[in-house]
Amino acid sequence: MATTIEQPVKTKAEPELLGFLAEFDDPNALIEASKKVRDAGYRNWDTHTPFPLHGIDEAMGIKWTILPWIVACCGLMGGTIAISMQWYMNAYDYPFLISGKPLFSIPACIPIVFELSVLLAAFGAFFGMLGLNQLPKLYNPMFKSEAFRRVTNDRFFISMDAKDAKFSEIDTGEFLKSLNPTNVEEFWSDVESPKLPRNLKLGLSIVGVLMIMPPALVAYKRSTTTNTPRVHIVPDMDFQPSLKAQNTTNVFSDGREIRPNIKGTIPRGQFKDDNIPFYYGLKYLPEDQDVVTIAVQDEKKADAKPAEDKKADAEKAPATKPAAADPAAAAAAEAKKLDELPWVTEFPMPVTAKMMARGKERYRIYCSACHGLGGEGDGLVTLRAMDLQQGTWVKPASYHTENVRKLPVGRLYHTITNGVRKMPAYGPQIPPEDRWSIVLYLKALQKSQQIDANTLPEDVKRKLRDTK
């Protein structure tokens, strides 16, 4: 046996005395004994009974539980979290006005505060109880005692823990015997590490494999293609009966799914007649508006004219056609009409440096492509169109001609809004404030090209000379 490989011998730990168990067969005897143990000054001990025993708390000298305080703290914490969360979400991070109530409104907070307080108080009670009872505890060395099994049936026990400061192997044993128990025994710590049973290991492995399968299946399906139709898990969500824009339907008599504005109503935020200078660039709306805007005018006509006048409209339409046959004359007539409109000459809003900066930025985005950075009608689009000699291209006007410089700001605003010649209407793209900002920048551009250099101060002149 000389060649025996030396196995590392698993030395069994010395079993350690953990305490004593004293057995009683009568609850009253247990209470009497408990009083004696309490008065003897032991702290680390417990009683075990098959049912709740009135008076055992007093007999053991157990202090009133601190659980209510834990619950109260958790409840208060829940309330605080709820109220600060609602303040942060509703009033600070994402202010959202709901039915005209204040952003941070106590009555609206009450239900959430209530719910969270109750929730956290319940958590406090549940987990606090588990914690104070030192649960979950899967194993206790006392379970090894044969006698202790009757604790769930008809026996009553006192257990003395060896960790107690007053505990001593001989004295405590003697003391317990003096309490007249039916039996006293010791309980010892385990010497072997508890192993998991084989069946449990197997079961857990199977459960683990089963749990991995659904996510694995999902991952596989998501990373591969298939020629079978997709699975509709919730068909109601995939095929909704709701109408889609621009489709036809037989729900409404006109066959349109998208609904036109209701007659006689103005969509929210589209009522413009309360600030005519700002929205139209006009001092007031003239009686005959057909040159101002096409869209607005059409709406107004449809609203103003009763149904009987439809016929008159129909007759009028062919009458305008001959005018279109002579485009030059029509254009001249339109230009004349435009000149006569009451354009505003002042900005209908305070002019600020911020507005100028905004105007410059917007001008460079929307206008400079054709009109050029300096407004001379030499934008990149224009240059390229000229290069290619595109016949239909109309060269944009330079802002620095006498004609354009004379135009009132209202007219410039109108041009941006509704377009002119080849220039499309920018009204739908640029909000009115930005259109006015562009007009302001445009006026500044015009001024920059028409100033007499002698009127400039010396340092500005030098700066202009030095700047390329």
Q: Which residues bind another protein (CB under 8 A)?
A: 54, 57, 68, 99-101, 107-108, 110-111
Check whether the bond before 136 is cis (ω within 30° of 0): yes
Rank residues 15 and 61 by Cβ distance to another protein and give the closer one: 61
CB of 114 vs another protein, minimal distance in Å: 8
Whichever of 55 and 424 has its CB closer to another protein, that residue is 55
Pick between residue 62 and residue 218 the one whose CB is nearest to another protein.
62
Shortest Å distance, C-beta 110 to another protein? 6
Sign of the four-CA dihedral 88, 90, 94, 100: negative
Instruction: Name the strands in the sheet holding 156-161, side by side, starting at the edge strand that comes first in the sequence.
Output: 45-48, 156-161, 17-24, 183-188
Q: Which two tokens stand for residue 145?
A: 């005692």
Report the residue number, 91 or 381, with the smaller CB distance to another protein: 91
Q: What are phi and psi of 420, to 5 degrees?
A: -155, 140
Residue 77 CB, nearest approach to another protein (Å):
16
Contacts (Cβ under 8 Å, ≥6 apart) of 266 = none
- The first and second tokens of residue 190, run together, are 């385990």
Nearer to another protein, 98 or 212 (CB): 98
Minimum separation from the CB atom of position 357 to another protein (A) = 43
Give dist(CA 129, CA 122) in Å, integer: 10
Rounded CA separation 391/12 (Å):
104
Q: What's the closest the beta carbon of residue 153 comes to another protein, in angstroms?
A: 23
Report the nearest approach of another protein to the CB of residue 404 (Å): 55
Give the three-class secondary structure for 21: strand
Which residue lies nearer to another protein by CB, 107 or 241?
A: 107
Nearer CB in complex with another protein: 110/312 = 110
List the end-to-end C-alpha distance of the chain, in Å, as a whole number: 102
Class of residue 66 by CB neighbours under 10 A (exposed 0-12, middle 13-18, buried 19+) = exposed
187, 161 in Cβ contact below 8 A? no
Amino acid occupying residue 211: M
Spatial distance between the Cα atoms of 56 and 60, rounded to a whole number of angstroms: 6
Task: Give the number of residues written for the chain.
Answer: 468
Please report, for residues 65, 73, 78, 80, the alpha-carbon distance to residue 122 in angstroms, rounded to integers and kept in the order given: 16, 11, 10, 16
- Per the rule left: phi > 0, alpha: psi between -120 and 50, beta: everything else, 399 is alpha
Give the whole-angstrom CA distance, residue 241 versus residue 109. 36
CA distance 369 to 387: 15
Strands (E), 16-175: 17-24, 45-48, 156-161
CB of 79 to another protein, least distance (A): 12
Closer CB to another protein, residue 57 or residue 161? 57
**368 in Cβ contact with 379 (< 8 Å):** yes
92 DSSP assignment: I
Smallest gap from residue 99 Cβ to another protein (A): 7
270 closest CA partner among 52, 431, 31, 96: 431
Would you say 29 or 109 has its CB closer to another protein? 109
Q: Minimal distance in Å, beta carbon 54 to another protein?
A: 5
Query: Minimum Å distance from CB 115 to another protein?
Result: 12
Q: Which is nearer to another protein, 79 or 277 (CB)?
A: 79
Residue pointed to by tokens 């009686």 = 287
Q: Which is nearer to another protein, 100 or 215 (CB)?
A: 100
Q: Which class for 257: exposed (0-12), middle (13-18), buried (19 or more C-beta within 10 A)?
A: middle
Residue 121 or residue 162: which is nearer to another protein going by CB?
121
User: Which residue in 453, 354, 358 sits closest to 463, CA to CA?
Assistant: 453
